[in-house]
Amino acid sequence: MSDFIRWPIFSLLPEEFLCSIKTALVFGNSGNEAILVTHDDEVFGIGSNLSSCLGVGDQQNCLLPRKVETLCHKKLCDLSFGSGPHVLALTETGEVYAWGHNGYCQIGNGNTSQNPVFIPTILPVLQGKVITQIACGSHHSLALTSEGEVYAWGYNNCGQIGSGSMTNQSSPRKVASTLNNRKIVSVVCGQTSSLALSDTGEIFAWGYNGNGQLGVGNNTNQPCPYKVTGLGGIFMVKIACGYAHALGLSDSGLLFAWGANSYGQLGTGNKNHLVKPMEIASDKGRFIDIAASPSSHISVACIANGKLYMWGHCRGQAVTTPTETNFTKMNEVFACFSSPPLMHKPLVIEREDTRTVGKCVGEAFNDQETSDLTFMIEGKPVYVHKAVLKIRCEHFRTMFQSHWGEDEKDVIEITQFSFVVYEAFLKYLYTDKVELIPEDAIGLLDLANSYCEDQLKKLCERIIKEGITVDNAAMLMAAAIKYEAKKLEEFCFQFCVNHLTAVSQTDAFAHLDEATLKGFVQKAGQRGAFKY
C-alpha cells in the first residue's frame, strides 16, 4: 500500500495484512519498531522491541507482527512514544496505558522499579478522568483531560514535570501553578521540556531551557509553567516540539519558531538559537499545520494550498530555510528526511473503497457527451445528469418530479447564484469536494443554506475558517450571522476579538450594518474585549 511504502519496517508484510491496518506508529532509535491497530481493533507490535516497547510481554525481537493482547479491542485512538524508550496509548473512552522503560518513573504506574514494564498497564491515577491527548518526552509524559487540566509524570531533572521541584514523579500529578483556572487545549513535549496551549491562545512552557526552547526570553530552566513571551496580541492555535526547539501557529496562519537552531530547524536562514518566538517564512503564504518530533531536529509545515515545507536536520544536511517538497502528507517527510525516520504522530488509514463508481461519477461532471441536462449561469453552460442530481440532492429530487415544469426541460437557467458558486455546487454533488476561496465560499454557504445541504455547509465553514484574515473577518462574520451558521459565527467573532484593533480599521468592518455592529460591540464587551 502506498501509505506504508516509505517505511522499511513494513516491507516484509503481506499486502492483505497492510490493507487491514487502521493506525500505525513507527518509533525506535532507527525507526525499527512499530505499533499497529487494525480495522478489526486488534493491536500488533513489530520490530526490535527495545525495553519491551512492543508491549507483547517479553523482549524478543520480531520481523513479523505479534499481537498485543492487552490492547486488543480497547478502541485505541492515539499513541505516543518517548526515546527513553516508553510508549503511551489512549483509548476512545479516555483511558491511558503505558509500557516500556521505567528507569525514571515514566510509565506512571506508581512503581519506582527501574525494570521495564513488559505489558501495557492502565494508569490508575488517571482513571475516572477523560484523557483527550497524550505526549511523551525522552523520559517524561503528559496527559490532557477533557476539562483542560494537565497531568505529568516521569523524569524531572530539569523541571519538565512542572511540579516546582526537581524530584521525579512516579504517578501522574496535576500541573498547577500558572495553569490554575486556565483551560488547556493542547500539550506537547520536547526531549526534556513541556509546552501547553490554552483556549485563550497563550502558550506556557516548563522544563529544560538551555537552548531557549521554552521561549521565555532567557536560558533558565523553569520548574513551573511560564508564559511564552513576545506573542502579545497573537492568538496561537497549534504548537509542536522538536528535540530542543518549538513551533507555533497563529489563528491567522502565522508561523513562529524558537529554541535550538544548530541544524537550521528554526527556519531563520541561520543557525543562531532563539530564546523567544520569531515569525518565519512569511513569504510562503498562510500556514495551516505544523509538525515536529521530540526525537529529531526537523520541522515541517503546510500552507493553505496543500504544499509541504521542511527544514532543519534533513537526511544529514542542515537546511536553514523552509524548502518546498513534493510530499502530500507530513509523515512522508519524516519517513524520508528525519533522523531517525520516525512518525511525528500516528498514521491513520481510511479504509479504501475498492469500487470505481465514485471515480467514474466524478469524471462525468460537465461531460457534454453523456449529460442530459444543461444549467446556464451567467451565459455559461454546465453539463450534468438528472439521475446523479436526484440521487445526491433532495432539492433536485423535488424539482424533477413529473408535475414540475423543470422535469421536461433540457436547459435550466439559474439567476440567483453566480457561475462560480453554482458550478462549485454541482461539482460537489459529483465529487464531494469544494475548491473555492473564502469570499466565494460565502455564496456557496448561502446556497447550501437555501438547499438544506448540511454537509456542504460544513465544508464551506471549514474553507472560511482556514482562509479568514484581518481584512475579510468582519465580512465573513456578518455572512455567518446571515446564514445562521452558529459555530462559524462564533469562530469569526473570536478571530475579530483576537485582532480587534486591526479588524476595526478595515473596510469590511466599516460596512457592517448597524444591527450587526451593535451586536458585535455588545458581545465583545461581555467577553472583556474593552477592559483597561
pLDDT value, residue 326: 96
Distance of CA 322 to the CA centre of its chain: 20
> Residue holding cell 502530500?
328
Q: Any idea what the Cα angle at residue 302 is, between residues 301 and 306, rounded to 5°?
A: 160
DSSP string, 61-123: -EEEEEE-GGGTTS-EEEEEEETTTEEEEEETTS-EEEEE--TTSTT-SS----S-EEEEEE-
pLDDT value, residue 362: 87
Q: What is the DSSP letter of 19?
A: H
Residue closest to 475 by CA, chosen among 439, 515, 514, 527 = 439
Burial class (CB in 10 A: 0-12, 13-18, 19+), 114: exposed
Spell out the residues 6+ positions from residue 314 whose beta carbon is closer than 8 angstroms to its own. 298, 323, 337, 338
Contact 211, 219 (CB under 8 A): yes
> Residue holding cell 461531460?
367
Q: What percent of the chain has pLDDT over 90?
A: 85
User: Distance between CA atoms of 138 and 119, rounded to whole angstroms?
Assistant: 20
Helix, strand, or coil here: 172? Answer: strand
Helix, strand, or coil here: 197? Answer: strand
Phi, psi of 192 (to 5 degrees): -135, 30
Spell out the residues 6+ positions from residue 226 whose beta carbon is closer than 8 angstroms to its own. 178, 204, 205, 206, 214, 216
pLDDT value, residue 356: 66
User: Distance between CA atoms of 451 and 456, rounded to whole angstroms?
Assistant: 10
pLDDT value, residue 432: 92
User: Distance between CA atoms of 491 and 287, rounded to whole angstroms?
Assistant: 18
Q: Which domains does the chain have, with CATH numbers?
A: 357-527 (3.30.710.10)
Give this prediction's pTM: 0.84
- Regions of the chain short of the pLDDT cut 50: none
Residues facing residue 206 across a β-bridge: 194
HEC per residue, 432-476: CCCCCCHHHHHHHHHHHHHCCCHHHHHHHHHHHHHHCCCCCHHHH
Count of alpha carbons within 13 angstroms of residue 483, beta-carbon side = 27
